[in-house]
Structure formats: structure tokens, C-alpha cells
Amino acid sequence: MIGEMDPRRIRNFCIIAHIDHGKSTLADRMLEITGTVTPREMQEQLLDSLDIERERGITIKAQAVRMPFIYSDGNDYELNLIDTPGHVDFTYEVSRSLAACEGAILIVDATQGIQAQTLANVYLAMEHDLEIIPIVNKIDLPSADVPRVIAEMTAAFGFEADEVLAVSAKDGSGVIDLLNAVVDRVPAPKDNHDLPLRALIFDSKYDTYKGVLAYVRVIDGSVTSNDRIRMMATDTQAEVLEVGAFKPTMMKVPGLDAGEVGYIATGLKSVGECRVGDTITLARNGATDSLPGYGEQKPMVFAGLYPTEGVDFHELREALERLQMNDASLVYQPENSAALGPGFRCGFLGLLHMEIVQERLEREYDMDLVVTAPSVVYRVVMADASVIEVSRPTDLPNPSLLDQIEEPWLDVSVLTPSRFVGPMMELINARRGVFKRTEYLDSSGARAAGTESMPSSDPRVVIEAQLPMAEVLVDFYDQIKTRSKGYASLDYTFTGFYPAALVRLDILVAGQLVDALSLITHKDRAYYQGKALVAALRKLIPRQMFEVPIQAAVGSNIIARETVHAMRKNVLAKCYGGDISRKRKLLEKQAEGKKRMKRIGRVEVPQEAFLAILKMER
């Protein structure tokens, strides 16, 4: 045995929950109680290490950590925890984490009850045969309704009421019992350390000194530094520079044994050679069969990323390359826009992912960018029966050349208190949705008196429907929240491509077609969308020295028009006491601001305008 611990004393588990139900906060308490971090090092949501995560208070990347724990019988255990993100864009991070574990702690917020991602995550965990430890969190809050939420969990998932632990991740109550339950209930990993090495790569990261770090769960065998390893899918070989564990910072260990979670420093220069989901084995006497990997994570949403006047195209390429090293789900390829010049077409997991990539480029790489309207991928069946994929509206072939266009659809489930079923159905209808069924979350065991957030007289309902992905992309989630006063939640998965009557909607600014503003839309919606889009653009394009007409067109038909009136006055006021430098600096700042805009002909168009579609009223 090379590892530090007898596999029978190891437990690998992750924490799964709907967004904001307290995963990262629970991880904090566990780190504290096990003494993994000292009180001095402790800070809120410690495992959320990206600036954006800390600022937004959400987890984006799954994070692993190894904790020492003394079980109630006095024996030492090694607990490997993986904190996962709750947002639906990052569901794939959850499924990857699950494959590295034998158990999962399922959190449900005591003030909110089961939500859409709760359901989705439980099913995922079940698919992976994980032992689930259900807990109710936030019991310290006055509005917590523990019995009712427990009843809901037993009814929905068939847990026994006494299996469910009550915890406050904030004040720590119940967390020691929970850790003991992890040792009790989560099976130890199989002791396969005599078999040839097989380690599953569940994440990867690029480090300037150590090259690509593969985050692994060792399933069989063991690995130490200086071993020569082989990535089975890519057939790449590498020398192990270092193996280590997350404590929670990365710490070198002598080796990793079957059952353990840690990292392998490969010295490789490209994350592409060390793909998430691949199996690592030894170069000599390696395993013959790789582990079942992950289904490939396909980007759902595409958008163009263009440098503004001040930013260099090559700098943008470099920044994207570096970002991709730690975010394999980001894909990009160069493209050219008549209006915006050279840029990149990028694929994202969803709108939040897109927003985060943009923000990271702007903050970590100091780039000013224009992002174009997000689009889904369409499958175009050509007249000659060949099929092409189109994610950029201007790539849509001439109607005479194609047979049909297919758009991606989602299986959507909306979990809502029954009093909002009406508004939810209306929304689904308005978005071309096809209703499938509703199901009541039976909680007959619950006590009669409800709380403000969960009146007991109002049972909760899962609405299942299918919707075109394009309709869910833009502000569907916000609408769900608004129309249900925040109580309903949403989950979705991709189902397939279906034919639709789609057309390209073009936008002309001052008579000039702006390819970056074109979008693909349903024929029946084109008129309405065109109107909304030009109205939004009118507000986003600042007044210029001349009148700027903004038109929406389908083919050669103008279907909507707005005008940005000419600016009438723009002079600096009094030059007080001869402060000429200040005046000049004001104008310099203005000039900098103009640099950040894009010029379409003579018209200066700000970055936000290219995302007008997200701001338009429905």
C-alpha cells in the first residue's frame, strides 16, 4: 500500500443540492470541524476559490478536498468531499463528480423544500448507484419547516423519515452526526489496489510549473511520482511529476491508492491531451479496458466574441486559450463578421456560463469585448439530404437550397406551488412549449400548518413539458421566477432536434445590415421579435450627430423600424477658473469610451447593443 490510508477507512462523497441550498456552507463547517483548515484560514464558502464565485456567492467549479476525521469509535478516517455547483448550466460538473464517489449528501433547504434541481440531482445520483444521505439544512431559520420538508423527501424519494438528518450548515448543529453518518452509510471504496492502475479524470487544470494537473479518482491500482502513465483515450504518455491531495490546498503525497481522490501532475502542456472523462493507466503493464467515461459535454449556446477597437485579436485568442485550459467546456473557433471584423464563435453550456466567461476575460485578462446575441445550434437538412450545423444566423443557407431546419428541444421540468400552475402553463404555451404531464409532490405526511413560504394547503407540482431550447435560452428562467414570486424552479435536459418553420431576422442600422445582430427565429414570431429588438436597440444606441434609422427585416421585407434622433446639444459647460486639463481629460475619457464602441458605418454602437436580444421585452 502506497497511499496513506487503508481503503476501508476512506469515504468518497459529494454534496448535491438545488442552487443556494447550502452545499458550500456545509463544506465550510466540515472543514472546520475536522480541523482541515484552522480558524485563522477559515472564510465563508472557502472552496469557492474563483473571484466570480465569491462575488456572486455561487459555485461554478466542483471542488475536491481531503479531510481527516475521527469517527465516533475513535478510529481515523479519510473523507474525500467534492462540493458541486447547483446551477443547471453546470449539471455536467455534478455528474462528473458523482462518478468519483460512493456516496452523496443530498441537501434540501428547510425553508424551500424540494426544488427542480433537487429532483434532477437525486436521479443523477441514483443512476450512479450512490448511497444518498438526505439532509434538511438551514434549520436555524425561523421560517424552517423541518417536518414538512422531511415528509416531502420521504414522499418524493422514498427515504425513511429517520434517515433524514436535520442540520444547520450555518451554526454547525448536526454536522458531527452527519460526518459519522457518512462513515456509517457510505460504502468504503473497493480495495482494488492489486489491479493495474485505472484512474478517472474528473477535472483538470493547467499549472504553469507542473503542466496539466489531472484531478482523479483512483479506481484500481495505485500511482506514485515518477510512474510513466498513459491517457487511454488520447494515447498520450507522460511522466508523473507529482501526486497529491487537496487539503484543501494541493499537497504532495507519496502516492494515491485505489479508492483515493487527488491530483496527478503530468507536465503536459495541453489540457486536450488529458481530457476529462479519460482513464489514466500505467504506460507499462497497464489496464486494457478504460473506465466508462462521461458523455461528451456539448455546448448548448453559441455567441460571437469580438474585440473592441482597443483590443487585439491575438490577445483575445491567447486569453481564450488560457481560459480553456481550466474550463474544458468552453469551445471556440475563429470567425469573421462584416460588421465586427475578426473574432471568435464560442460555445457555452448556458447563459450563465457565457456571462462568466465574458466576465473572466474582462477581469482576469483585461479585455473589452463585444458579445453577440446567443444562439442555439440548428441542424439544417439541405436539398441534397446532407446535414450541416448552424450556430450563426448568417450561416443559414438560402431557403431555396435547404430542405428543412431543425432546432434543439429540451425536456423541461418546472417545480411550482400549485397556485402558480396557471401562469407557468401560460408561459410554456407562449414559448411554443408542448405540455407533457403534471405530477403532485405528495406530502400527505406533512403537518397541517404551513409556513409563509410553503402554505400546506398548497401542494407542489412538477410540470413536465418540452420546449425549443431557443425559447428557454432567453429570460425563461427569470419569467418562471417572476411569475411564481420566486417559488418555482427549473431544470432541463436536451432531448433532440425537431423541424421548425424558422427564418432569419436581420437588423439594419442606418441602412446597413449588421450581421452580428441577425438572429434565427420562428416564422410566426419574427414580426413581434423584430419590433421588440429595434425598440431595444433604439434605447441602447446613443444619439449621434445625425438621425439613425434602425430596421428589422425578413428577407427583403422591412417589418419594423425605429429612429434614434439626432443629438441636439453636446457642449461642455463653463470652464471654471481655467481648469483646461480637466476639460481635456473629460474629452479623453469620452474618446476612450468611443474606442470601446464598434463603428457600423458612421454609427457608434456600444457593446451592450449586441446583446439587445436579452434586454428586449416580450
Partner 1 sequence: MTLGLYVHVPFCETKCPYCDFNTYAAIESLMPGYVDAVANEITQWGAWLKHPALTSLFFGGGTPSYLPTRDIAKLMRAIYAAYDLPSDTEVTLEANPGDCSRERLQAIRRTGVNRLSIGVQSFDDNELRLLGRRHSVDQAIAAVRSARVAGFDNLSIDLMFGLPYQFAASWAHSLEEAVALEVEHISAYALTLEGGTPMEADVAGGHLPEIDPDIAAEMYNMTCETLAAAGYEQYEISNWSKPGLQSIHNLTYWRNESWLGVGPGAHGTIAHGPGAFSALPEQGVRFVDIKPPRAYIERAMAWRSGGALTADTLAGAGAIDTIELTTQAIAMGETMMMGLRLNVGVSDASFRQRFGVGIADAFPNAVNDCLKDGLLEWVGERLRLTDDLRPLGNEAFGRFIAEAMG
Ligand X SMILES: Nc1nc2c(ncn2[C@@H]2O[C@H](COP(=O)(O)OP(=O)(O)OP(=O)(O)O)[C@@H](O)[C@H]2O)c(=O)[nH]1
Q: Which residues bind Mg ion (CB under 5 A)?
A: 23-24, 59
Compute the least distance from the CB of residue 62 to partner 1, in Å. 41
Instruction: Tell me how far, at minimum, the Cβ of 48 lies from Mg ion, in Å.
Output: 6
Query: Which residue is it, cell 454534496?
Result: 15
Where in 24-53 is the site for ligand X (CB under 6 A)?
24-25, 45
CA distance 301 to 318: 22
Instruction: Identify the burial level of 386 via C-beta atoms within 10 angstroms of its C-beta, where 0-12 means exposed, 13-18 middle and 19 or more buried.
Output: exposed
Q: Which does 577 bind (CB under 5 to 8 A by kind): Mg ion, ligand X, partner 1, none?
A: partner 1
- Upper half-sphere CA count for residue 185 (Cβ side, 13 Å): 18
Q: In this structure, are residues 344 and 369 in contact, taking their beta carbons and an 8 Å threshold?
A: no
In whole angstroms, the minimum distance from the beta carbon of 110 to ligand X comes to 8
User: Judged by CB, which is closer to ligand X: 34, or 551?
Assistant: 34
Of 142, 235, 578, 617, the one binding partner 1 by CB under 8 A: 578
Nearest Cα to Cα of residue 465 among 439, 500, 497: 439
Q: Name the closest residue to ligand X (Cβ).
A: 86
Residue from 74, 142, 285, 572 touching partner 1 (CB under 8 A): that is 572
Q: Find which of ligand X, Mg ion, partner 1, none residue 590 binds, CB within 5 to 8 Å per kind.
A: partner 1
Q: What minimum distance in Å lies between the beta carbon of 28 and ligand X?
A: 7
Residue (448 or 591) nearer to partner 1, CB: 591
Report d(CA 218, CA 28) in Å as an integer. Answer: 25
Strands (E), 476-556: 489-500, 502-509, 512-513, 519-522, 548-554
The residue from 10, 14, 16, 22 that contacts ligand X (CB under 6 A) is 22
Tell the smallest beta-carbon distance from residue 31 to Mg ion (Å): 13
The CA distance from 466 to 191, in Å, is 44
- Does 336 participate in binding partner 1 (rule CB under 8 A)? no
Coil vs helix vs strand at 330: coil
- Nearest CB to Mg ion, comparing residues 90 and 610: 90
Report whether 222 contacts 197 (CB < 8 A): yes
Residue 120, Cβ density class (10 Å: 0-12 exposed, 13-18 middle, ≥19 buried): buried
Smallest distance from partner 1 to CB 586, Å: 9
Q: How far apart are the first and last CA of the chain?
A: 63
By rule CB under 8 A, what string of x and - marks binding of each residue 491-530 to partner 1? ----------------------------------------
Amino acid at 604: E
State the binding partner of 21 from Mg ion, ligand X, partner 1, none, CB within 5 to 8 A by kind. Answer: ligand X
58 contacts ligand X (rule: CB under 6 A)? yes
Selected from 41, 575, 601, 618, the binder of partner 1 by CB under 8 A is 575
**Quick check: 588 binds partner 1 (CB under 8 A)?**
yes
Among the listed residues 284, 400, 570, 617, the single contact to partner 1 using CB under 8 A: 570
Between 449 and 567, CB nearer to partner 1: 567
Residue 136 touching ligand X (CB under 6 A) = no
Q: How many CA atoms lie within 13 A of 318 on its CB side?
A: 9
Among 127, 591, 608, 612, binds partner 1 (CB under 8 A): 591
Q: For residue 369, what are the β-bridge partners? A: 307
Cβ neighbours of residue 325 closer than 8 Å, sequence gap 6 or more: 205, 206, 212, 270, 271
Q: Per CB under 6 A, does 113 bind ligand X?
A: no
What is the nearest approach in angstroms of partner 1 to the Cβ of residue 545? 6
Q: Binding partner of residue 161 among ligand X, Mg ion, partner 1, none, CB under 5 to 8 Å per kind? A: none
Three cell numbers written together for 356: 462568466
Distance, in Å, from the CA atom of 336 to the CA atom of 317, rounded to the nearest integer, reads 14
Which residue, 327 or 604, is less far from ligand X as judged by CB?
A: 327
Closest distance between Mg ion and the C-beta of residue 56, in Å? 10
Work out whether the CA dihedral 461, 462, 466, 472 comes out positive or negative: positive
Cell of 333: 473557433
Q: What is the DSSP letter of 492?
A: E
Quick one: which of 6, 11, 198, 216 has its CA closest to 104? 11
Least Å distance, CB 410 to Mg ion, is 24
Say whether residue 1 binds partner 1 (CB under 8 A): no
Backbone angles phi, psi at 524, to 5 degrees: -70, -15
Q: Collect all residues with Cβ–Cβ distance below 8 Å to 258 and sequence separation of at least 6.
A: 7, 189, 190, 191, 192, 193, 195, 218, 219, 220, 221, 222
Pick 86 or 530: Cβ nearer Mg ion: 86
The 10 Å Cβ neighbour count of residue 387 is 11
Smallest distance from ligand X to CB 167, Å: 7
Which of 59, 329, 416, 466 touches ligand X by CB under 6 A? 59
Q: Under the criterion CB under 8 A, does residue 142 sit at the interface with partner 1? A: no
Q: How far apart are CA 309 and CA 593, in angstroms?
A: 10
CA distance 17 to 234: 33
Site for partner 1 in 542-561 (CB under 8 A): 545-546
Residue 587 binds partner 1, judged by CB under 8 A: yes
In the complex with partner 1, the residue whose CB is nearer, 318 or 579, is 579
Q: How many residues are listed for the chain in this entry?
A: 618
- The entry of ligand X, partner 1, Mg ion, none near residue 588 (CB within 5 to 8 angstroms by kind) is partner 1
Residue 357's H or E segment, with its range, is helix 351-364
Give the residues lining the site for ligand X (CB under 6 A): 17, 19-25, 45, 57-59, 85-86, 137-138, 140-141, 168-170
Site of interaction with partner 1 (CB under 8 A): 545-546, 567-581, 583-584, 587-588, 590-591, 594
